[in-house]
Copies of this chain bind each other. A is one copy, B any other.
């Protein structure tokens, strides 16, 4: 199976970048499933159903989120209408929405997409590791189970993300971090066969502070005085993510490569494999 995952989309430039890149990426990579983290797509803060629908219309299969999921408050009452728009798994019981979704791709293959959030330097949620165990008890990768499992680990600390990668190694097709808004270059197939990348990076303007206007962010951090509200930088986005090919029988990864398209960062566009 061919998997395309794109990191946190930031603001209009991020959305424009993703919508422009998707046809190119589809042409080039022909992914069986496309996942995008949309937690910053609405002006940098959260996501609306309208924006989600634009992504779905453009061919995105699943949207993941993170700590910004409820920044657009009306989503709380709407998220249950759209099972392909995920919120992190480990919010308290009773939270609207769901942390995972099971899809059918071409050829009747089942794919599970999970969204989970770390806790180091972040909000105190339920245990992400215990949460993943519960999900993976119900959905096994490989023969008799699902063809692919994709896990978006939304987190700050590289240590916690790497530990999640190792903990799921052999039981997921791809464990990919989001939230830092910077792509990492540590893509690898872990010893058990799971593709891993500490952070997909954002889809946004990299002449910025994690996608937001750099002057405002700098003033806020350095001077510690009130500033105007942070808003997304407006230069061209680099669309960042990761591309993975898996063995449909085992569900494990055969190949993992970064995707970086447009904007200021060095460009990387994988070739589709055999």
B182 touches A224 (CB 8 A): no
Assess A121 versus B121: contact at CB under 8 Å? Given A156-B156, A158-B180.
Answer: yes
A208 within 8 A of B: yes
- For chain A, residues 150 to 196, give those with C-beta under 8 angstroms from any C-beta of chain B: 156-160, 162-163, 166-167, 180-188, 190-191
One of B92, B201, B226 near A224 (C-beta < 8 A): B92
A185 touches B184 (CB 8 A): yes
B127 touches A166 (CB 8 A): no
Which residues of B are found within 8 Å of A166, using beta-carbon distances? 209, 214, 218
Which residues of B are found within 8 Å of A124, using beta-carbon distances? 119-120, 124-125, 127
A57 within 8 A of B: no
One of B127, B167, B190, B266 near A185 (C-beta < 8 A): B266
Which residues of B are found within 8 Å of A92, using beta-carbon distances? 127, 130, 222-224
A253 within 8 A of B: no
Distance of A94 Cα from B199 Cα, bound (Å): 31
CB distance from A156 to the nearest CB of B (A): 7
Q: How many residues of chain A are within 8 Å of chain B by beta carbon?
A: 62
21 contacts between A and B (CB under 8 A): A92-B224, A95-B224, A120-B124, A121-B121, A121-B156, A123-B224, A124-B125, A124-B127, A126-B127, A158-B181, A159-B217, A162-B182, A163-B209, A163-B218, A167-B218, A167-B222, A183-B184, A183-B186, A184-B184, A184-B185, A188-B266
A221 within 8 A of B: yes
Which B-chain residue is minimally distant from A161 (CB atoms)? B182
One of B163, B181, B265 near A217 (C-beta < 8 A): B163
CB distance from A66 to the nearest CB of B (A): 13
A6 within 8 A of B: no
A258 within 8 A of B: yes
Which residues of B are found within 8 Å of A93, using beta-carbon distances? 130
- For chain A, residues 92 to 115, give those with C-beta under 8 angstroms from any C-beta of chain B: 92-96
Which B-chain residue is minimally distant from A218 (CB atoms)? B163
A182 touches B158 (CB 8 A): yes
Distance of A159 Cα from B182 Cα, bound (Å): 9
Can you list, as one digit per residue, whether each of A236-274 has a CB less than 8 Å from chain B (1) or not (0)? 000000000000000000000010100011101000000
- For chain A, residues 194 to 245, give those with C-beta under 8 angstroms from any C-beta of chain B: 198-199, 201, 206-210, 214, 217-218, 221-226
